[in-house]
Structure 1
Amino acid sequence: MSSRLSPDDQKRVDQYLSAPQHQVARQPFKVWRLLLIVLVSVIGLGILSRLLSRLVL
């Protein structure tokens, strides 16, 4: 896909995006941490649900 910008405008956009304030250092994605957070959340909500059902019934 070709750019719709003129070469001069594209050069200015590239300079803007390569500026230090637009560079974000990202940590690697950790699948196991996400899985653990989801698992703990589901188990925690399940336990809370059972506790609330015992209080209501």
Structure 2
Amino acid sequence: MTSRLNPEDQKRVEEYLRAPQHQVERRPFRPWLLLVVVLVVVIGLGLLSRLLSYLTL
């Protein structure tokens, strides 16, 4: 894909992205962990809502 920036601006962008503070090592994305966290939160909120409805009725 070609850049729509002029060459000077593109050079500045590349220098900015090459700076050490913009090259952070990240852990790999783990979708299964995200799924487990979402399920735990949904189940926990469901149980909390059942407990609150039991206590108020």
Question: One fold, TM greater than 0.5?
Answer: yes
The bucket for the TM-score relative to the shorter chain is: 0.7 to 0.9
Q: What TM-score comes out, normalization by structure 1 length? A: 0.82
Residue aligning to 1:40: 40
CA separation in 1, counterparts of 2:2 and 2:38? 41
- Structure 2 spans left out of the alignment, 5+ residues: none
Q: What TM-score comes out, normalization by structure 2 length? A: 0.82
- Matched residue count: 57
Q: CA RMSD in A?
A: 1.4
Runs of 4+ in 1 over 2 A off after TM superposition: 1-6
- Structure 1 spans left out of the alignment, 5+ residues: none
Identity of aligned residues (%): 70
